[in-house]
Chain A
Amino acid sequence: MRLLFILALLFQFHVSAQPHLQIPASDFRLPTPAGDSVSLSSYRGKVVLLDFWASWCAPCRVANKSLVKIYPRLKEKGVVVISISLDENRKPWLEAVKKDRLGWLQLREVRGWYASVTTDWAVNKIPATFLIDQEGNVVGRDLAEADLEKKINELIQ
């Protein structure tokens, strides 16, 4: 009985620790505006910054501004930036991409909150960002700009 209790405790810890850092990252395959589908695993070997957002998410639109600002530095370091929009509709998605001048890979998940990509990555609010290393492991979530760049520098050394 005591063993069972300890096991239950351990299991609970395991489960609650899971959503924050998944090692390795869950793969997905989603469409680009042009209609091609792209998978996360095809970027193995590169550092990836994954960003969940939507056109109707005001804080995401603010975060886009900072990302646009640091994107040239990230690109220079060989970091791949992938945005996944939870927009139900195509038009506002593309309008926001254009308006915010998001010059990196744009993907969309029409099933939004209930899609496997959102549940696998435990995205319960947006914006949500994940940093993924060259081996495909999640090494950071919702890192602030300074921490993000520091972590990236560590990874590409």
Chain B
Amino acid sequence: MKNIDNKNIGIEEKLSTFNSQLSTDKELRELDAMCVNESRLEHKWYHNLKYLLIGILFGIVFVKSEVISWFRIQEMFHLQSFHMYGIIGSAVITGMVSIFLIKKFNLKTIYGEPIKITPKTFNKGQIYGGLIFGFGWAMTGACPGPLFAQIGTGATVVAVTLLSAIAGTWVYGLIRERLPH
């Protein structure tokens, strides 16, 4: 009985440290996430139309470069084509140079806020989760972005894949505390 009590106290302590670690909403939003809104500004909803527009352009690039093609993903994982490596590689180089310049010249946003990018810390999830996502990527031929674009191209059945991906994210949230990190 005493053992059980001790165990319970242990769990409670862990929970309370977990909760205090996540004292702010932004910290919780940053948990297991790369893309975070760093801005502290509040805007009317229509300011978000900018992101809709960028999304549209992005979706067009996805389709026209065949990044969202199941066949292209198979080629990549069979080392039968340079196409996907060229796209990811040149995208990363463009991004690196851009972030280097943003940091070097201390660029601000169009609203005058300093640009902030939160650094990431390592946890084992990047290995286990990475492998799991890799499996799904080769099966569906799509990462999350292409799922949305594939549905747009008329492949309506991919909506099932998307719903399943949402379910996968939900189950992760449900069992997160019990997984190794």
A joins B in a complex: no
By a beta-carbon cutoff of 8 Å, the part of chain B in contact with chain A is none
By a beta-carbon cutoff of 8 Å, the part of chain A in contact with chain B is none
